[in-house]
Chains A and B, each alone.
Chain A
Amino acid sequence: MGAFGYVAPGSLDEALTVLSEHASLGKRAQVLAGGTDLLVQMRGLDREPRTIVDIKKLAETNRVDIGAQEVFIGAAVPSAVLNENQALVDLYPGLLEAADLIGSTQIQGRATLGGNLCNASPAGDSIPAMIAAGAVCVIAGSGGTRELPVEDFVTGVGTNALGADEFLVGLKLPAPGPGTADAYLRFIPRTEMDIAVAGCGVSVTLDGSGKCTAARVGIGAVAPRALLVPAAAEALIGSTLDDAALQAAGEACSAAASPITDKRGTDVYRRKVVGVLCRRAAAIARDRARQA
């Protein structure tokens, strides 16, 4: 591991001051939440010196707030803590499933949704699930706070929309209304301890007659970044989420994908499997929505 400085600001303003000072001097600063990606990178390829800005000591990044209209999840809350929050699990079973898939049990004691998003891996499991759930990033910067939908946050492989003087404070999600539920599925060759070959998050809303009135579909690991797939949502909306609608949504996901061939799978395979996952995840979300 290379040399590094470490600061753990006690307030949001203090954190922003450290970041903007570094930015103005052209010095490198990097935000640390759980560190499950960052520490691995520092031990591996990227050993250049930097200042680590630990945001785990901030009240705002540790906050979980379940409101009637809106839910807030702080960027430094570990997956394990989220999954112990039954109210949250009941509201977003799909998103929480995704959070539960990141790494091992030990890793989940540290890993955060915020970190998974900022790391901006094409295969980050929680990102398509957050997209499906309609999550919005709350970003603090020296110029004030701004918001950005998750699907617009990741800009490419390992890159995101944060400026050098900004950091992710947390995620804002619309509270699911009646008849709304989500689901997330990923494909890995093993049962656990693996990285998505393809992933798909689906959120649907059913009316009293069982007709789908709203839907969001996010896909991961099949493009340089996780994508919102409006065409898949359109295939679901207006239907009763019957087999034909699920099939059409799956095909829309396959069409939206632009996968690569690498050690984890071929492009042909990934394109096919993301469609399968969409169909299956949509069916799970539908069955949950019928209970919701």
Chain B
Amino acid sequence: MAEAVDYKVIGTSPIRPDGVDKVTGRAQYGADLNLPNMIYGRVLRSPHAHARIKRIDTSRAEAMKGVYSVVSGKDFPEAEHGEIGGEGGGDISDLAKNIMARDKVLYHGHPVAAVAARSQRVAEEALAAIEVEYEVLTPVLDLDTAMASDAPLVDENCYTKNLPEKPDKPSNIAAVMQLGRGDVDQGFEQADVIVEGEYRIPAAHQGYIEPHACIANTNESGQSTVWCCTQGHFEFRAMTAKVLNMNVADLKFVASEIGGGFGGKTVVYLEPVAVLLSRKAHRPVKMMMTREEVFRATGPASGTHIKVKVGARKDGTITAATAWMAYEAGAFAGAPMGPGAMSVFAPYDLENFKVEAFDVLVNKPKVAAYRAPGAPQSMHAMECALDELARKLGMDPIDLRLKNAADEGTQAPYGPKFPAIGLKACLNAAKNHPNYTKPLPEGAGRGIAVGFWFNVGMQSSAEVHINENGTVTVVEGNPDIGGSRASMCLMAAETLGVPYEQVRAIIGDTESTGFSNVTGGSRTTFATGMAVVRACEDIIAQCRARAAATWGVDEDQVLWEDGQATPAPGVNADVKPLSLADIAANAAKTGGPLLGRASLNAQGAGASFSVNIADVQVDRETGKVDVLGFTAIQDAGRAIHKAYVEGQMQGGAAQGLGWALNEEYIYDANGVMQNAGFLDYRIPVASDLPMIDCEIVEVPNPSHPYGVRGVGETPIVAPLAATANAVRDAVGIRIHDLPLSPPRIVAAIDAAGS
């Protein structure tokens, strides 16, 4: 562990600058803005999971009073192929077809047309007046069917990528991926114990409370302004420009406050449609999804089918591990099989391993990023297998993991050698945590699991303005999902040496600050934070120069300490230190306003590891799981805002527990989702959860000025297996599939008893 650093504000938990407006209802979310002459856009969605569009007749809708514009696939330009970029995978052409179907509809809820009208009601009546003739095709609804050689094809032009030879016939397997090292056959021969398991997890939604919403206002020269809830307005601008074949300079995106995203608001759905409707209508067009639309047509996390096999010696040393993993992509290629494959064995130092992964098309909505996309599913399989292995070996599950844990210098399964990482520190913290040894009530069970996420850097920009009274305005380009404004203010305050209260952060639109990638990949506090620190250092350099000029000394004879310029020791100048306020007050005489800037492509995002401990009680007659206790331990590198780091850990645990216990997409035989609402898509309610205990481990990331590692995604990874392992401990039966819903648990208990 690095030496302790005495920070003034970093690591404290002040209230967030945006907090009051959020708790009093003043904050403006996606649907809150209204413009003069605004009209309402609604989307007509496919009633079939798979069908060819033979004819669309919008004439009756167009003729209706109060209808201003109608669009369908033919109104969109032919989009070019190309990577979407950002957090979600996939192709721009596919993105365009996902926003508005062209010749085929590929899932129930796929948009086929849209109207803009004077009211929501008229818009809905107009949708009912649109005639669409379909040729219904057989839907492909699960991985087994989709991967069979005689399966109906979701896309007749899809040929499996990354095969040694180009395939001669199309397939629902959009891409394959392989990863490996050593000789697994030899490794399994050396094993004293081998465990194998097959795990299925259905699709789960991000469940953000705010449905997608936007307003587009297009003027007569073709320039559009779009207000929307998004995790990244610069990337929304780029995607919209590509889908509509527009110049990015003709598009301005303004991010509203955001009521949750979790990865699901990194791709556009409504925005290009609203721009097109607005262009045709010559009016601002507001579009808001219903919750049902959110479930039926926005990205969930992939449903998966994963097999793992792990062999170990009697002392716990893993000799070989293999994984086979199929990820549902939905209607278009781009499931997170890559990160799934690269994370499955990431916590462990393995000599021999092999991973095969498949990106599989099915007639369901295209998946989108969801916190650590791909990792919860694959690591659930591995962490459950390790639990079984520990039982067979008679070993403590934490000791088994410590025995094989990756550390600084270990070559990660995905290539690079790990720099300093906190896995062993987290495992030791778990082992020493009182919650790990606390006696359990009769019949209850305890489980542990490890979580991991790579984290990313990517591009960020920041500006720091010093106001005339010495207060500080930070301008950045990342929507604040988890308290990042507060983190930016803390880092700026620490760097400049001023109180937190003296700093405010604002999120600029695409025309008022430099490019920034999405708030995603757990990158904002790391990368944008780094840009803010650099911009503050720019300010400090300017302040030192101005103090030097004022005092008539060299710049290197001026220090910046505690928020003020002071002469270096030994400098022969009889001067008083100059505070930021002093320098700002005199700015006009010393060269004009103080403005610091930085832009960067951040490198060295440190991986974040976690260990979770779950305690559960299972009602063996009803199958109900009560979570008695849950402990999240995670390496944050350095917690900038302690309470918001804990908030990320607790939020990820809550979502992971929901995924483990009750959340699932349920489809009928025609591919119609049966539970497109929060009544039957069961995210946890507050009373379902215990207080989630948090322990932040700090192994500083050497690549960040304050040691930050991203913390937003790792928290959702371990809860799935930790919960499943706890249920295994409580009922004595391994249930491989999720969710661990009451009917599944009762069926397993009954099957074991008979």
Contact = CB atoms under 8 A, between A and B. Distances in A.
Interface of A: 187, 189-195, 197, 262-266, 268-269, 272-273, 276
Which applies to chain B's interface (DSSP): helix, strand, loop or mixed? loop
A262 B668 CA distance: 9
B688 interface: yes
Interface in B626-667: 661-662, 666
Contacts of A264: 680
B669 interface: no
Interface in B670-715: 674-675, 679-680, 682, 684-685, 687-688
A264 B680 CA distance: 7
Nearest to B677: A44
A263 B746 contact: no
A117 to B, nearest CB: 20
B685 A190 contact: yes
Closest 7 CB pairs of A and B: A269-B743, A191-B687, A263-B674, A276-B621, A263-B666, A263-B675, A265-B743
Interface in B352-388: none
Contact of B747 (A189, A191, A194, A268): A268
Contact of B622 (A194, A262, A276): A276
Contacts of B680: 195, 263-264
B40 to A, nearest CB: 15
A194 B742 CA distance: 14
B223 interface: no
Given A269-B742, A273-B746, A276-B622, 7 more contacts: A187-B742, A189-B624, A190-B682, A190-B685, A194-B679, A263-B675, A272-B746
6 contacts: A190-B682, A190-B687, A190-B688, A263-B675, A263-B680, A269-B623
Given A194-B679, A264-B680, A189 B662 contact: yes
Contact of A195 (B679, B685, B742, B746): B679
Contact of A190 (B662, B674, B675, B743): B662
A175 to B, nearest CB: 33
B742 A191 contact: no
B622 A193 contact: no
B741 interface: yes
Contacts of B685: 190-193
Which applies to chain A's interface (DSSP): helix, strand, loop or mixed? loop
B629 to A, nearest CB: 16
A260 to B, nearest CB: 12
A191 B679 contact: no
A262 B685 CA distance: 22
Nearest to B626: A191
B684 A190 contact: yes
A193 B666 CA distance: 20
Contacts of B750: 272
Contacts of B688: 190-191
A197 to B, nearest CB: 8
Contact of A269 (B661, B687, B747): B747
B668 to A, nearest CB: 9
B126 to A, nearest CB: 15
Contacts of A273: 621-622, 742, 746
Contacts of A192: 685, 687
Interface residues of B, number: 22
Contact of B674 (A189, A191, A194, A262): A262
Contacts of B743: 265-266, 269
Contacts of B622: 187, 273, 276
Nearest to B684: A190
A189 B687 contact: no
Nearest to B625: A189
Nearest to A279: B621
Interface in B729-752: 741-743, 746-747, 750
Nearest to A198: B622
Interface string B102-141: 0000000000000000000000000000000000000000
Contacts of A191: 685, 687-688
Interface in B401-420: none
Nearest to A44: B292
Give the residue among A195, A263, A272 with the most B Cβ atoms within 10 A.
Answer: A263
Nearest to B620: A276
Nearest to A191: B687
B739 to A, nearest CB: 9
Contacts of A193: 685
A238 B589 CA distance: 100
B746 A189 contact: no
Nearest to A193: B685
Contacts of A272: 621, 746, 750
Contacts of B624: 187, 189
Nearest to A264: B680
Contact of B682 (A194, A266, A276): A194
A257 B750 CA distance: 19
A272 B624 CA distance: 14
Given A263-B675, A265-B742, A189 B682 contact: yes
A272 B619 CA distance: 13
A128 to B, nearest CB: 17
A262 B684 CA distance: 20
A195 B678 CA distance: 11
A187 B687 CA distance: 15
A189 B666 contact: no
B671 to A, nearest CB: 15
Contacts of A194: 679, 682
A183 B598 CA distance: 67
A276 B619 CA distance: 11
Nearest to A266: B743
A190 B621 CA distance: 16
Contacts of A195: 679-680
Nearest to A261: B743
A193 B750 CA distance: 28
B292 to A, nearest CB: 9
Nearest to A272: B746
Nearest to A268: B747
A154 B276 CA distance: 50
B231 to A, nearest CB: 28
Nearest to A275: B621
A65 B741 CA distance: 43
Nearest to B678: A193
A269 B746 contact: yes
Give the residue among B622, B675, B682, B688 with the most A Cβ atoms within 10 A.
Answer: B622
B300 to A, nearest CB: 16
A272 B622 CA distance: 8
A191 B624 CA distance: 10
B616 to A, nearest CB: 14
A269 B751 CA distance: 13
A263 B661 CA distance: 15
Nearest to A1: B121
Contacts of B666: 263
Contacts of A262: 674
A197 B743 CA distance: 10
Contacts of A189: 624, 661-662, 682, 741-742
Contacts of B746: 269, 272-273
Contacts of B674: 262-263
Contacts of A263: 666, 674-675, 680
Interface string B166-185: 00000000000000000000
A187 B623 CA distance: 10
A194 B624 CA distance: 14
Contacts of B741: 189
Nearest to A280: B621
A199 B662 CA distance: 19
A192 B750 CA distance: 26
Nearest to B661: A189
A240 B451 CA distance: 53
A186 B518 CA distance: 45
A187 B674 CA distance: 20
A107 B57 CA distance: 43
Contacts of A268: 747
Contacts of B623: 269
